[in-house]
Structure 1
Amino acid sequence: VEGNGGPGTIKKISFVEDGETKFVLHKIEEINEANLGYSYSIVGGAALPDTAEKISIDSKLSDGPNGGSVVKLSIKYHSKGDAPPNEDELKAGKAKSDALFKVIEAYLLANP
């Protein structure tokens, strides 16, 4: 949507869920090639609940056992005003994130 791919860039990612085309807006916050880190925020679209200003995701890769890799994720929910996060929305979001991670993991294991 805007930017050159570096920090500050906003990307629109479209996907199909339950037969319906949806989108999410990702804002790249930081790319740390030296430490294999990537941070972005969900700032709009289907993945952002009405009660959230944004959802920030920080990821970091590190060496794992037997030549593999370990991914560490940190997710922060930024509420609008004093609105508490909806527990059901948080659980649904975590379930979707876990499912996506499993798909990526399966692909990488099948295609080393």
Structure 2
Amino acid sequence: MGVITYSQEVKSAIAPSRMFKALIIDSHNVIIPERIKSVEFIEGDDGTGSIKKTNFVTSCPIKYTKNKIDAFDVDNCYCKYTLIESGVNFNKIDFIIYKVKFVVADGGSVCKMTREYHAKEGCELKEDDIKQGKDKAMGLVKTIEEYLLANPDVCA
């Protein structure tokens, strides 16, 4: 099983704690409530070790995701979680580990994201296999920033 790791940094004009709350803690209400049908905890209560299932509306290409929360540190604006199951059949990917950390920078923040794509036994991953996920991650952070700039009371 091979592993491909990608790291990205995205600058934002929004403070780390506010971006962390919008992206990680309250994303189902802030980012795309029109695309998320429900969020439920299969195990735990939103802390480390919990398994969170996000159900998407029928018009979305992904029906659901299940993520195991590996680390969750609100004070340091850090989260690590593993995508363990999805309504999309990944032909080559066994699971994906995400690490997200917001740090103070230039009156705002920098979102540092790392993704580890773990290939299924006997499969080889290429950049084209995961390019779409990289682009969506960058776009999501910018979408949240725009929303928070337009709505200064949200996640304040």
Normalising to structure 1: TM-score of the pair?
Answer: 0.82
Asked whether the equivalents of residues 42 and 48 of structure 1 are also in contact (C-alpha less than 8 Å), the reply is: no
Asked whether the equivalents of residues 47 and 93 of structure 1 are also in contact (C-alpha less than 8 Å), the reply is: no
Q: 1:101: how far off?
A: 2.2
Relative to structure 1, is the Cα distance of residues 47 and 87 closer, same or farther in structure 2, using a 3 angstrom cutoff? farther
- The answer for the alignment partner of 1:9 in structure 2 is 50
Q: 1:56: how far off?
A: 0.7
Identity of aligned residues (%): 35
Matches within 5 A, 1:49-64: 49-64=90-105
**Which structure 1 residue ranges, 5 or more long, are not aligned?**
none
Q: 1:105: how far off?
A: 1.7
Q: Runs in 1 of length 4+ with deviation above 6 angstroms?
A: none
Q: 1:81: how far off?
A: 1.8
- What secondary structure is seen at the aligned counterpart in 2 of 1:108? helix
**Which structure 2 residue ranges, 5 or more long, are not aligned?**
1-41
Relative to structure 1, is the Cα distance of residues 34 and 102 closer, same or farther in structure 2, using a 3 angstrom cutoff? closer
Equivalent residue in structure 1 for 2:110, among 52, 63, 70: 70
Q: How many residues align?
A: 110
- The answer for the alignment partner of 1:25 in structure 2 is 66
Asked whether the equivalents of residues 48 and 55 of structure 1 are also in contact (C-alpha less than 8 Å), the reply is: no
Q: What root-mean-square deviation, in Å, do the aligned CA atoms of Structure 1 and Structure 2 show?
A: 2.1
Mapped partners of 1:70, 1:47: distance in 2 = 30
Q: 1:47: how far off?
A: 5.5
CA deviations over 1:47-96 (Å, ceiling 9, x no partner): 66232221111011111212x12211111101122311254330122222
